Amino acid sequence: MLPTVMLQEQDCREHFIRKFHGHRILLDSFIDFFAQTLTHAIARRLRNGWPQGQSWYPVCVLEFITQFRGMRAAEILSMSGYPLDGYALQRNLVEQALYIGAVVNGTSSFQALMGTKGVDSSKKWTEDDHQTIFKNRLAEEKRVMRIMSGDEAGLGAGEIEALAKWQRLFNLQVHGSRFTHYREAAKWLVEKGTPSVGPRIDDDASAMYMNRASEIGWLMLRAFPFLQLEDAPFDDDWQAKWHVLDDSFRKSVEGLSNLGKKIGSAFIAMIDAKFITSPKIRYVERL
């Protein structure tokens, strides 16, 4: 039976690439650029050494590496016939992108997001220290979400409502895989199909994943320049690619707005307010 499921996965992959060819070009170009950016940043540090007086820069690099792997994991699932499982992973990717964005714009710091701000790191932590760190982390994450996309974001009421719904929808798939459940039930009950153990071709589910992938990609792209240090700025070719991808993501999200989707205009409002970056910015140690 497993070989049959694997064939279904291959069929889904081929259809997905054909059906969403334009999206795939954009996302594949972005993922490749993401890998190039990280490779360049790491290579310069191996050659020049890690920066003195900027002790949180290695953590910054690790955050981007973790995000890259999460995005690749979601991509692999989506292209193998499991777009809604990729969508479930996207909830964490969205949150992490917003946390990183908060560090970039000075709203937070990696130390605060890890909950260790104000905790004495020169001694072995006690159980009470670990509890404090846990509580600090949760409190900071909630504060950042309110400021980046919630009721303290300074956006319009309709935009905040659309972003809240955008985030709530992730929970339906994360908790109980509800979208997967509902869509398979529809195949049986509405379309009178037969049960399938392996994945089905589902363009609507794939579109749902791809729209979120473009949004997350744009958030992360806006954060990329933060990986630059003064002794290792990215070159003109990198900057040109960054601008092309930035324009392409904007057009992709504008497409949702043109279709009457409220999340399109709300997302653009958020990124223009909270992710104001350019290739000119450099890493800054946030405390």
The tokens for 189 are 């009950």
CB 248, CB 26: distance < 8 Å: yes
The tokens for 177 are 């895989």
Apex 253 CA angle, 224 and 217, nearest 5: 25
CB 78, CB 16: distance < 8 Å: yes
Query: What is the pLDDT at residue 195?
Result: 79
Query: What is the pLDDT at residue 120?
Result: 81
How many CA atoms are closer than 13 Å to the CA of 184, on its beta-carbon side?
14
pTM for this structure? 0.93
Query: What is the pLDDT at residue 38?
Result: 97
Q: What is the dihedral of CA 66, 285, 231, 98, to 10 degrees?
A: 40
Query: What is the pLDDT at residue 258?
Result: 82
How many CA atoms are closer than 13 Å to the CA of 274, on its beta-carbon side?
29
Question: What parts of the chain have a pLDDT lower than 70?
Answer: none
CB 218, CB 249: distance < 8 Å: yes
For the chain, counts of helices (H) and of strands (E): 11, 0
Give the C-alpha distances (Å, rounded to integers) separating 36 from 25, 29, 42, 88, 240.
16, 11, 10, 26, 14
CB 63, CB 220: distance < 8 Å: no
In the DSSP assignment, the letter for residue 227 is G
C-alpha–C-alpha distance, residues 137 and 104, integer Å: 18
Query: What is the pLDDT at residue 186?
Result: 75
Query: What is the pLDDT at residue 123?
Result: 85
Q: Specify the residue for token string 């900027």.
A: 54
C-alpha–C-alpha distance, residues 104 and 282, integer Å: 9
Question: What number of other Cβ atoms are within 10 A of residue 6's Cβ?
Answer: 12
